[in-house]
Structure 1
Amino acid sequence: MPKNPFGEEPSAWDSGPRSTNPFDSNYDSPDSDLTFATPQSRTLASQQRALDSMCHSEQIGISTLEELSEQGEKLDRAEQRLHHIGELQKDSQKSVNTLNSWWRGWFSKKPTPGGTAESTKTGATAPVTRERPAPAASYLSQNVRTAPLPSSQPFFQSQGTQPRSQFDVNMDLMSSGMSRLRDMATTMNAELKAQNQQLDRMEPALSRVSDTMATQNRQMKILLGVKSPR
């Protein structure tokens, strides 16, 4: 019979009281169910955090490259349209010159030369564009659709996986992830450089289009007898 009336007899299946002394053999640790409560486990956890961070950085890099690629396509379309406008202005300038010569001949009572005016239409020169394919688009087509992002799975892949082997796997993943991030940075630099060169090339062309438009408007006003406001 137990000495404590509120106590219970220890069962035959009970191994006895559990000690709270961590140095006792009967000490029941709350973390005793962890597979690796060692520095190796902490190292693997640190590696996994680094892999997660690299995965996030790579996702941001891919989004940035997609935006740069879209921006480059818009610049290409703008440069092509600018070149097309320049070619149209060349043709319109020929028409303005023809009208100007006809009006001068009419008012000076000089006979106009026989035959129609010969239209010497020069072939349109292709605009100078950046290299094809563009760096960002080329990288996205060759890497993003073929190479997956770094895995974000837990570092304990299976119960039988040894810490050392998983450590090596994580190191390989980190190495390949750093290589991809470096390639992304190089591609971004090349894409930005190409777009800056394209903007520098478009600036004088835009100025020529603006000046030509102002000149042709002034010539047409003179032909139509429209006086410029003072």
Structure 2
Amino acid sequence: MSTNPFDDNNVKSYTFNKDPEDEVNEYEREIERVLQESVESTNRSVQRLANSEQVGANTAQELLVQREKLERTEKNLDDIHRTTVETQRNLNSLKSLFGGWFKNKFTKAPPTSTVPGSKSDSRLSSHLENSQFDGRPTNSSGPTLSAESRAAMKGTRFEALDNQVDENLDMMSSKLANLKNLGRALGSEVDEQNDMISRIQVKADRNDVIVRSQDNQMKKLLGYKGVAKPEDTAAFSKKK
């Protein structure tokens, strides 16, 4: 036996002939790894979207509670205004009994402005009633793989993973659409409530002016003098 390391008989072969079955197994493991990563990734995305959806729903509920408070406030201001209108009629009747109309700036009630009433309907409320927050997809975006690929996977262990990815993608699509509509409804609700706050401010200022005017008129009818301001109660001790 030759001891020459360069002898052809002593050269080792470093080429490997892979078994076709091993190559298939390796390919399948790679497919399974990719599908499993896709399932985990889409699961995380679905969970994040569900959390965002819940935050949006909670915000919507808080806005609806705030709307109810604003509507009650506006209704109370409207009731006060109706009361001041009736009070002014009574004051005018008393003035006619006591010798005619007072010729001063407090004789007549300030002109009343027409202010739009509160809207009881809410786009946000309707959206919450018609929205699904149970995690079920409302529409399907279709399979992610071609018909040939799905046919090749049918009956294999990859089919369940692929179906899970498709289901997650459908839920993501549904939740994104719901978040988009919810965002629009929230924006619309905020705009409406800003309008309500503006109306409430106008009505509160209007009622304040009328009540102050009527307070002065009543004090003058009762014969008090030195009335500088409607809240000046010291004038009640100074009859003519």
- Give TM-score scaled by structure 1 length: 0.65
What aligned pairs does 1:1-230 form with structure 2 within 5 A after superposition?
A: 38-104=33-99, 128-130=117-119, 132-143=120-131, 147-150=132-135, 161-228=159-226
Whether the 8 Å CA contact 2:95–2:221 is kept in 1: the answer is: yes
- Residue by residue over 1:170-223, the C-alpha shift from the partner in whole angstroms, topping out at 9 and shown as x without a partner, is 111100010111111011011111111122222222111000000011111111
* In structure 2, distance between residues paired with 1:161 and 1:177: 24
The count of residues paired between Structure 1 and Structure 2 equals 166
Moved more, 94-103 or 220-229: 220-229
Task: Please say if residues 122 and 189 of structure 2, whose CA atoms lie closer than 8 Å, have aligned partners that are also in contact.
Answer: yes
Kindly tell me: are residues 42 and 160 of structure 1, through their superposed partners in 2, closer, same or farther at Cα, counting changes over 3 Å? closer
The one-letter code of the counterpart of 2:46 is L
Task: Indicate the SS of the match to 2:44.
Answer: helix
State the shift of 1:138 in Å: 1.3
Provide the rounded CA distance (Å) in 1 between the counterparts of 2:84 and 2:62.
Answer: 33
Per-residue Cα deviation, 1:62-100 (whole angstroms, up to 9, x for no partner): 111111111111111211111111111011011111112
Shift of residue 126 of structure 1?
9.8
Q: Secondary structure at the match of 2:99?
A: helix
Secondary structure, counterpart of 2:135 in structure 1: coil
CA distance in 2, matches of 1:171, 1:69: 31
Does the 8 Å contact 1:51/1:174 carry over to 2?
yes
Deviating runs (4+, > 3 A) in structure 1? none
- Between structures 1 and 2, the one with greater helix share: 2
Counterpart of 1:111?
none
What amino acid does structure 2 have at the position aligned with 1:129?
A: S
C-alpha separation in 2, matches of 1:62 and 1:82: 30
CA distances 1:134-158 after superposition (whole Å, capped 9, x unpaired): 1222122222xxx24326xxxxxxx
Structure 1: gaps of 5 or more residues: 1-33, 106-124, 152-158
Q: TM-score, normalised by structure 2?
A: 0.63
Paired letter, 1:221: K
User: Once the 2 structures are TM-superposed, how far is the Cα of residue 163 of structure 1 from its aligned partner?
Assistant: 2.1
3-state secondary structure, aligned to 2:121: coil
Identity rate of aligned residues, in percent? 28
Judge conservation of contact 2:53–2:133 (CA < 8 Å) in 1: no
- Which residue does the alignment assign to 2:106? none
**Contact 1:54–1:150 at 8 Å: present in 2 too?**
no
The one-letter amino acid paired with 2:130 is Q
How many angstroms apart in 1 are the aligned matches of 2:217 and 2:227?
15
Distance 1:99 1:163 in 2: 86
Q: Tell me, what secondary structure is at the counterpart of 2:226?
A: coil
Unaligned runs of 5+ in 2: 1-28, 101-113, 137-156, 229-240
Q: How many Å apart are 1:160 and its aligned residue?
A: 7.5
CA contact (8 A) 1:51 1:173 kept: yes
Contact 2:81 2:207 in 1 (8 A): yes
SS at match of 1:42: helix
2: distance between equivalents of 1:228 and 1:142?
62
